[in-house]
Each structure stands twice: as C-alpha cells, then as structure tokens.
C-alpha cells in the first residue's frame, strides 16, 4: 500500500487531536508536520497528553511554503480567512488540501462577506470546490485538489433532508432545523459561555437567526438537490462533551407515512457505509467516537420530523476529513474509520 505524507496546520484543537488519532491507525498515512503558533516548538504530547508515546513530533511555527515540500496532503484546522491564505499557497505548490474552515463551503463571495465579515482571500474557488460529504458529492472528490470539509451542524441537517428534497417529498421553503451540540463544538479556546460553571446543568440557544451554518445548509442543499432551499436554523449548547442531535421539521408535498420516508432514505443511501437509517429514536451516545450518522423519522400532525445523531468531532469534522482523504488518494472509503 502506498504511503501519503500529511501535514496538519493548526494542530492544537479538538478536531486536530481526533484527526491525529484517526491518521495514526491509517495504514496509508504518515504524519510528517504539525504546525501551531505556540512558541518553543512544544512536543505534541505536551499539547495532547493522550498522544504520549504514540507520535514523536514537535509543533512548528512555520508557514505553508515551508510545509509544502514535506507533504502531499495538508489538513487545515485554521480560522476562516487564514485557512484560505494557506490553501492558496499550498495548492500553488502541488499539495492537495482538505480545509476544515468555512472558507470554501459557500458558493459566492457576497454571502461569505455577509456572514463572515471578511473579504474572501481566494474568491475564484468559491462555488467550484467540492463539498466534502461523500454521500452527496462522492463523484467530485477523488480528482479534487481542494475539498471543503463540511460543518458539523450542516452535516446533521443536510444528510436527512437531501433524499426527501431530491425526491420532491417535502417543501424546500418551509424547513426548521433545531440542533443541540456538545461543548467541544465551540472549540478549545476558553470562552466565558463554555466555562464549566456557566454551561454545566444548563442548555441554551445561541446565534438565533444569525448562525453562520444557516447559509451553508441552504446553499449545499440547493446545490445537491436543485431546489431553492430556505431554512430556519437554531443551535443550542448542551452540557456534554461531544455529539449533535438535530430535529428537523418539514412540510410534506403529499400525504406521507413513516414507512414512505424511511424507504426513500434507505434507497438513497444504499451502499453508503456511514449512514444508518434506523427505526428507533437516535441518541448522541449511539454515534459517539464513530463516523456514523443515525437518522430516523416520525410523522406528526401532518409534518415530517427527521431526527439525526452524529459525533461532531468525527463525522462532523475529522472523520469526514479522513473519508475525503481516502477518496482523494485511492484508499477504501472506510479505511481507519471502522
């Protein structure tokens, strides 16, 4: 089996840690470079103690130009805007890139500017970069030099909705997505609202009507289904480490039974290794530490309810990235993920 040299730019966060753990068990990946802006070249085990004895690398404060000669694939776990700047430099030097930020997920610079309050550093690639959900865009990913890794919340909403929208079973302009996420979704940088005394034994909505994942959900569903999709998206912070549970409310275009909806989703995702269409109501513990998404439905008072559960750090981030890596470099899609 061939070996692909990889770099992880921005290696201090939770998603980077999960990515490292997945790549360490990947028979075709060799981690060569970890970067961070921290001073003093700390050993990776000083940043992530769970990696003690598993990876002997220090974190280097170097730019993409220096990284490029040491890898064939770079995973970018960087803030928006900074990620696109690094991607441009790496792509110009022949390195293939999987970007964890939102920099290439949206379709146009105007929407990016509106929601991220930045001019896009690489706007010419917007709308042309494959979105890294292999279940929907798998044919675009293998030949891509750049893949936009999906957002964690959008994954939990897009995957349940896409089959029904594609089949014309639900209205595209009357969709409500209500999502609950674990604290790790807020990242590792300390913030007041994620301190233990603030969030423990409490659940709260945030960014109501203005969360940056809302346009991502709408644009990707529109791209995948050919329908103009409008969504009301409300996220909640939940006092658990990891996981996302989304409950989605949609209006059917005709009378539907739960069996109709389940059959549609099962047919759509036949052969997709990480989508589990289940009869029971999924819970976040069912998918914790895995790359699975569990999805079911209920029909209540004429509305279709879709319920999905995923691990926000795995299928919502690092697992999806490895899935995309596998497709880009010719490995079996499930390598290191089952």
The catalytic residue positions are 152
Nearest to 102 by CA among 176, 44, 152, 30: 152
CA-based diameter of the chain, in Å?
63
Backbone angles phi, psi at 330, to 5 degrees: 80, 20
Say how far apart CA 296 and CA 8 lie, in whole Å. Answer: 35
Here the tokens at position 93 are 């030097």
Radius of gyration of the chain (CA): 19
Residue environment code for 86-124, b if the CB has 16+ CB neighbours within 10 A, otherwise e: bbbbbbeeebbbbbbbbbbbbbebebbeebbeeebbbee
First-to-last CA distance in the chain? 18
Cα 181 to chain centroid distance, Å, stands at: 13
Backbone angles phi, psi at 139, to 5 degrees: -75, -20
Nearest to 153 by CA among 76, 81, 216: 216
Residues 6+ apart with CB under 8 A from 270: none
Residue with tokens 């209500």: 178
Give the CB-side neighbour count of residue 54, counting CA atoms within 13 A: 15
């Amino acid at each position: 089996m061939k070996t692909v040299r990889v770099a992880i730019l921005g290696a201090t966060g939770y998603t980077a840690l999960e990515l490292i753990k997945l790549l360490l068990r990947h028979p075709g990946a060799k981690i060569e470079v970890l970067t961070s802006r921290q001073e003093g070249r700390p050993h990776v085990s000083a940043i992530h103690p769970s990696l003690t004895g598993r990876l002997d690398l220090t974190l280097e404060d170097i730019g993409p130009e220096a990284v490029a000669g040491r890898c064939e694939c770079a995973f970018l776990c960087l803030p928006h805007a900074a990620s696109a700047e690094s991607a441009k430099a790496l792509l110009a030097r022949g390195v293939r890139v999987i970007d964890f930020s939102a920099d290439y997920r949206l379709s146009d610079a105007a929407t990016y500017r509106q929601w991220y309050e930045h001019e896009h550093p690489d706007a010419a690639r917007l709308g042309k970069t494959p979105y890294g959900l292999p279940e929907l865009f798998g044919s675009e990913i293998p030949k891509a030099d750049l893949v936009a890794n999906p957002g964690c919340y959008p994954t939990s909403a897009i995957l349940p909705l896409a089959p029904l929208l594609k089949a014309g079973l639900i209205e595209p302009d009357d969709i409500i997505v209500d999502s609950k996420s674990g604290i790790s979704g807020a990242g590792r940088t300390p913030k007041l609202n994620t301190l233990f005394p603030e969030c423990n034994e409490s659940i709260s909505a945030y960014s109501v009507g203005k969360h940056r994942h809302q346009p991502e959900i709408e644009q990707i569903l529109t791209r995948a289904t050919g329908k103009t999709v409008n969504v009301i998206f409300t996220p909640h912070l939940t006092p658990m480490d990891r996981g996302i549970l989304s409950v989605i409310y949609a209006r059917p275009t005709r009378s539907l039974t739960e069996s109709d909806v389940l059959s549609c989703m099962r047919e759509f995702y036949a052969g997709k290794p990480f989508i589990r269409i289940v009869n029971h109501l999924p819970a976040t513990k069912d998918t914790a530490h895995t790359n699975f998404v569990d999805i079911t439905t209920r029909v209540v008072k004429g509305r279709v309810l879709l319920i999905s559960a995923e691990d926000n750090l795995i299928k919502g981030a690092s697992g999806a990235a490895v899935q995309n890596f596998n497709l880009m470099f010719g490995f079996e899609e499930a390598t290191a993920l089952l």
